[in-house]
Chains A and B, each alone.
Chain A
Amino acid sequence: LPLRFDWRDKNLVTSVKNQMDCGACWAFSIVDTVESAYAIKGQPLMELSVQQVIDCSYMDNGCNGGSTLSALKWLYQSQSKLVRSSVYPFKSRTGSCHYFPATEFGVSIKGYKAYELSGLEDEMMRVLIHNGPLAVIVDALSWQDYLGGIIQHHCSSGHSNHAVLVVGYDTSGDIPYWIVKNSWGTSWGIKGYVHIKMGVNICGIADFVAYPEM
């Protein structure tokens, strides 16, 4: 495994989004995984519709919360095609599900995987490199005040409440860390990203890991 790996270096991660007051981090992280996985397959990197997932993933609760895994299940089982974000833009509130004609461009998935990798962060590195960015659910209560640096304390596992995207890692320094994309805009954290210490399941980062198969 390389000492450092970051999907952004290959221009395979879309820009940081802002979920505003809509509690749909689960939809943002899943759409992020699909955007990257589609681009990793050699297709253009493009922003897909988070609002479509918010409105249409019927096992979730839109802006009132949801699960990354149930969103992936919905995408797979319904074979829904995620349309471009410009076609179905984000409104920061739950709405009715819009349907599109079969001729409309969209991205569907061929499957999905979900792992519990606590104690296996070396395996998580391998999964990240082989499959693309990973949707994870963390305990982000202590992230409210975060400005930068590597989170190593005050972030336990066992209270998962926020979905984000792991895009890379860096083990070249004294403290190895995961590189994590959030959906709270670029004025939060490190231009919208957060660094989390690797190896001890800080924030429960390895507890609930999921990604689509394209």
Chain B
Amino acid sequence: PAPRRLLEERYKVFLESVERHKYLNGFRQSAGDAFYGINPFSDLSAEEFSHIHLKSYPAMKDDYIVPNKTTSRENA
């Protein structure tokens, strides 16, 4: 029931997503590489996607323990 103007806007965003898929898939070098295409987020612009779905942030850097790299590598 959305107005035609809104549908046309979404379709334009969708077509931009398809172009983005082509760009990203252009970097594939082997069968195991990531591949990109139409999924439930294809009618969202990158900005909309980020605004809706990417809402986490880390705490202060000091809150995270940084193990001694030399010791950890030796242990490993």
Contacts and interface: CB of A to CB of B under 8 A. Distances in A.
B53 A160 contact: no
Interface in A5-45: 19, 21, 23-26, 29
B6 interface: no
B59 A67 contact: yes
Contacts of B57: 65-67, 137, 160-161
Interface string A153-169: 11000001111000000
B33 interface: yes
Interface residues of A, number: 56
Interface stretch (A82-90, A101-109, A118-126): A118-126
B46 A141 contact: yes
B49 interface: yes
A115 B34 CA distance: 27
A70 B24 contact: no
Given A1-B76, A122-B76, 16 more contacts: A19-B53, A23-B54, A25-B55, A29-B56, A65-B55, A65-B57, A69-B58, A113-B65, A115-B66, A140-B53, A144-B44, A145-B36, A150-B33, A160-B57, A188-B39, A208-B58
Interface of A: 1, 19, 21, 23-26, 29, 63-70, 113-117, 119-120, 122-123, 126, 137, 140-142, 144-154, 160-163, 173-175, 184-185, 187-188, 195, 207-209
